[in-house]
Amino acid sequence: MRDKADAFEASLVERFQGDPKLKELSGFRDLPGGRIFYTARPLAVTKESCLECHSTPDVAPKSLIATYGPDNGFGWKLNEIIAAQIVSVPAEEVLGNARRLLTLIMGIVLAVFLPLILVLNYLLRRSVIRPLRQMARTAEAVSMGQMDADFEQKSQDEIDSLAGAFNRMKSSLQISMNLLNQRKDM
């Protein structure tokens, strides 16, 4: 029969009948012609007028029985789920659309975040890494006895506080070294 559900479609109808709150099912299905993506929604008898033809074969129009036979499509009750509306498309089309969408989103993310990362990297190098490297070179020089090397203080941030602390430490070290040298000379 041309409108009779196959086993898979019948199982969808049974799931809808088993859970009246279920409003939609979707997924992939393998058919001889290839894989498809389907979306199914329940169809219920919502009008009394439907029961005029589908309650019992005795009251059904003769043309309906001639087309579909007396065995199927009868015994319906009001608000009962009797079928499923299924829309399907080839899975390759769905997966192709998903790939295109993923590529587009990744392109947008790269277009937005790559320049942002480059700018942040530049700012981090300029305001943190470069001053810390300069302090490391100055600390190395001071540790080798070059007491005229100063830790540069250019900003009003944590790097500036660190440079100030290093300069105070260098001054304390210089005073301690001078006192040691004075005691040594005595």
Segments making up each domain of the chain, as ranges: 7-91
Q: 3 and 43 in contact (C-beta within 8 Å)?
A: no
Residue 93 pLDDT class (50, 70, 90 cuts): confident
Which backbone phi and psi does 84 adopt, to 5 degrees? -135, 140
Q: Give me the helices (H) in the chain, please.
A: 7-18, 48-54, 62-68, 91-124, 130-143, 158-185
- Greater pLDDT, 109 or 6: 109
- Structure-block tokens of residue 77: 């009750």
CA 130 to chain CA centroid, nearest Å: 36
- Helix boundaries (H) for 69-154: 91-124, 130-143
Segment 5-60, tens digit of pLDDT: 889 999 999 999 999 899 999 999 998 988 999 999 999 998 888 888 888 888 88
